[in-house]
Amino acid sequence: MKLVRRKRGVGGIISGIFLVAVTVMIFGAMVSQYSLFENYNSAVQRAEQRAWERYNERLVIVGVTANSSYLNFTVTNCGSVTAHIVDVFLRFVNGTNKLYTIDVWIAPGSSKQIVAYNIRLGLNDKYDFQIATERGNLISPTPVNQAGSQYYYYYNGGYYYYNNPGGTTPGGYQPMPFIFGFGYNDFQYSTASASGPWSPAWIMPKGSRPWFRVLLNNTYSKDIVLQGTHTRLVFYQDDQWQPRQAVTLVNTPISAKSGVYVYFDRIPNQFPNTANQHLYAMIEAFYYFTDNPSQVMGTTVTILAVYLT
């Protein structure tokens, strides 16, 4: 009897240990799953952040300086993130290609002249070039003065043209058919009427339902038309992704290499009646060339952010 009782006691201890072990295992599995889930979410968020930054990194090479013994050009940052230029790739007409390293930072909305003293040019060199950013974007000089063509730059400021039929490639690098210039009055609102008066929209009154207008620049060497109704100005609150949308009511023509104000109707619902509420703003633009209205294309233009007072 004593042996049986002892065995029963041992059995209870073993059962207790087993239950504790199972509980620890379940808890460990839950912690492991939670950790994996958090790591996955963190990785996805980092990837989305990198993708957003890369898409919103928009540089324009606005001019190449003539009569310089070194590569000398000016870059404007039209995007909403600081850009870090790390490489310059030169392609010469004679077939020679060269890669150079530079280290230049450009803040949003600013321009910088870059004189690459490590890139010396000869008097008769014919070349074009691209710059590369740390995020992996490639930017070429914006074509000028020759609709339907791109060019190589001479050292002395002349141009060597090669064919680009129809001028249907954007003047910047490919994701930039339109440029928002970040002028203080390029993004405006009105609470009175669709015709104004207009005020800069970087800071707007809380609880309002404004009309908007945005100055957009067409980088194509052809005229385009922004489609009414489908082209929208979209606002997202920074704490939720439920947009408020202001639409264009009519088609808006934009001539080649020029800019116009694009007008948007009132948003259907008023902005939050909360001070210091931050909003992200972007334009969904749908457009076509005036000589081919059946081919409709779409892009987005980021304006940065606003807040309500």
Q: What is the average pLDDT across 110-134? A: 83
Task: Report the alpha-carbon distance of residue 308 to residue 258 in Å, rounded.
Answer: 31
The CATH number of residue 260's host domain is: 2.60.40
Q: What is the average pLDDT across 120-125? A: 76
pTM above 0.85, yes or no: no
> Quick one: 159 and 183 in the same domain?
no
Task: Report the alpha-carbon distance of residue 232 to residue 266 in Å, rounded.
Answer: 11
Domain boundary among 138, 167, 196: 167
Domain boundary among 167, 191, 206: 167
Task: Report the alpha-carbon distance of residue 119 to residue 256 in Å, rounded.
Answer: 33
Closest CA to 111 of 83, 90, 131, 86: 83
> Quick one: 262 and 302 in the same domain?
yes
Question: Which has the higher per-residue pLDDT, 22 or 293?
Answer: 293
Residue 297 belongs to domain spanning: 178-308
State pLDDT tens for residues 39-57: 777 777 777 778 888 888 8
The angle subtended at Cα 207 by Cα 204 and Cα 211, nearest 5°, is: 55
> Quick one: 186 and 302 in the same domain?
yes
Q: What is the average pLDDT across 242-270? A: 81
User: How many domains, the chain?
Assistant: 2
